[in-house]
Amino acid sequence: MDLFHNLGIGFGVALQPYNLFVCFLGTLIGTLIGVLPGIGPLATMAMLLPITLYLPPESALIMLAGIYYGAQYGGSTTAILVNLPGESSSAVTCIDGYQMARNGRAGAALAVAALGSFFAGTVGTILIALFSPALAQVGLAFRAPDYFSLMVLGLVGAIVLAHGSVVKAVGMVFLGLLLGIVGTDVTSGATRFTFGNLELSDGIDFVVIAVGLFGLGEIISNLSNRGVERSAGIAKVTSLWPSKEEFRQAWPAVLRGTGIGSVLGLLPGGGALLSSFASYTVEKKLSKTPERFGRGAIEGVAGPESANNAGAQTSFIPMLTLGIPSNVIMAMMIGAMMMQGIVPGPQVMTERPTLAWGMICSMWIGNLMLVIINLPLIGVWIKLLSIPYRLLFPAIILFCCIGVYSVNNSTFDVMLAAAFGILGYAFIRLGCEPAPLALGFVLGPLMEENLRRAMLLSRGDPMIFVQRPISAVLLAVTAVLILLLVMPAFRSNRKEAFQE
């Protein structure tokens, strides 16, 4: 009965006219940036974070969530029609989706992608509704040592699942931790790493880092790689209805992709990208005719598209129940909550039920909106692909600068964002993924706070971290992951998997 009561609260919030509008706006923006390659949900959410200050907390999170899962839908459109993924998790859809389009089955590929995404999104929303309250109750049993150990596990998991070199990922995490402690120490009142600059005494705002690394850095990178014309070779769309044989081949892949994404979305560093690639690998290995993959196999579209949406939805569970971001998108969501004065954690589910359940119920409504938005407006999305990037980036940069300035009315923040933009471009060129840095930045202050609390509780005895059962289990899992990273065989397999 509690579930139905909570769903009643959630739909009461999600169906309010204003929240329906921001949900529609978020899903529409998400689809749009998913269709336009080179922007992505990270950059868009970073740019829109300042706007959320002027929205009610429920509306802000509903809009940001809509952008995230909306981008998963929109990214498949360009992947299928133009062979360019609008969003990173749609990269694997290019392999068979574009081949289907070249074979005259673009409409069937788009329909299967949209329907599979809707099914996976619905299942993901149901899982959130079913398991979030129970996990939140578990989270209430966590104490400072347990939270510290959980955050350590999250950062190590982000290193394991980060692309590229392990050493670079470790370096990015430590850089994020260092940036997170810039400012005034709450306990002692001493300033740290401010170098005498009063502007840094309150620390670096998350919006500044997010806009710089993921917004401006991505724009600079795109401007240096404009060799591919987006409008070249757009496939024609005829019938949007798959054949009976295509349905028969697609639905098992949709079910498997939904299951894979639902599990991988929960992992630290997991989410839509990992889910889509894992689903494609599974479908190819299970197929009796693996030679079809790469030539237009509909399972190569149905599985990954379902997986990335399921992974996108279930990645909200750790954020809502424990206050721990499983990926950098969830770090953005936590940043938005903290900007609204909300402390992330299990207490959100009990103390702010309208916030948590309003967002959960809005996800199902948003997924339904996306099916309605995507299929009828395919012609509009195709025309948007012809917009030159040189016309888009000045407007995006202007919007970034206005957004950063509006948070604290500070020109110093704008200059700092520009510096992080250059740093973000340098990271891209050096092959350093910035996502672990963002996770380290968000989790760093929380880790420090819980470490100090744990030390106060134990009167300086570090054994408290192994004496508490929850903390001991989490640290044991962390140790296993670190041992795996050290093993040459695991590192070799990890490298091969990311290269594939």
Q: Which H or E run contains 191? A: strand 191-192
pTM: 0.73
The whole-number pLDDT of residue 225 equals: 67
d(CA 263, CA 307): 10
Listed as ranges, residues in the chain with pLDDT below 70 are: 1, 36-40, 83-89, 91, 161-163, 225-240, 268-273, 375, 378-379, 381-389, 490-491, 493-500
d(CA 177, CA 85): 32
The whole-number pLDDT of residue 389 equals: 64
Task: With CA atoms as reference, report the closest residue to 65 among 320, 375, 371, 403.
Answer: 320
The whole-number pLDDT of residue 16 equals: 92
Task: With CA atoms as reference, report the closest residue to 86 among 384, 398, 394.
Answer: 384
CA 397 to chain centroid: 22
Task: With CA atoms as reference, report the closest residue to 257 among 241, 272, 240, 242.
Answer: 272
d(CA 40, CA 31): 10
The whole-number pLDDT of residue 384 equals: 67
- For 219, phi and psi rounded to 5 degrees? -65, -45
d(CA 270, CA 312): 9
d(CA 202, CA 187): 14
The whole-number pLDDT of residue 385 equals: 63
The whole-number pLDDT of residue 32 equals: 81
d(CA 437, CA 206): 11
The string over 17-44, giving b where at least 16 C-beta atoms fall within 10 Å of a residue's C-beta and e elsewhere, is eebbebbbbbbbbbbbbbbbbbbbbbbb
d(CA 16, CA 67): 19
Is 201 within 8 Å of 194 (Cβ atoms)? yes
Residue carrying structure tokens 């394991």: 160
The whole-number pLDDT of residue 229 equals: 45
The whole-number pLDDT of residue 232 equals: 44
d(CA 346, CA 325): 13
CA 205 to chain centroid: 20
What is the secondary structure of 435-465 as a DSSP string?
A: HHHHHHHHHHHHHHHHHHHHHHHTTT-TTHH
d(CA 152, CA 318): 14
CA distances from 226 to 24, 38, 220, 426 (A): 31, 10, 11, 17
Task: With CA atoms as reference, report the closest residue to 316 among 274, 363, 276, 278.
Answer: 363
Angle at 337 between CA 332 and CA 341, to 5 degrees: 140
- Tokens representing 494 are 């990890």
Q: Is the dihedral of CA 417, 338, 345, 132 positive or negative?
A: negative
Task: With CA atoms as reference, report the closest residue to 325 among 179, 150, 448.
Answer: 150
- Tokens representing 293 are 């993959």
Residues sharing a CB contact under 8 Å with residue 461, sequence separation 6 or more, in sequence order: none
Residues sharing a CB contact under 8 Å with residue 285, sequence separation 6 or more, in sequence order: none
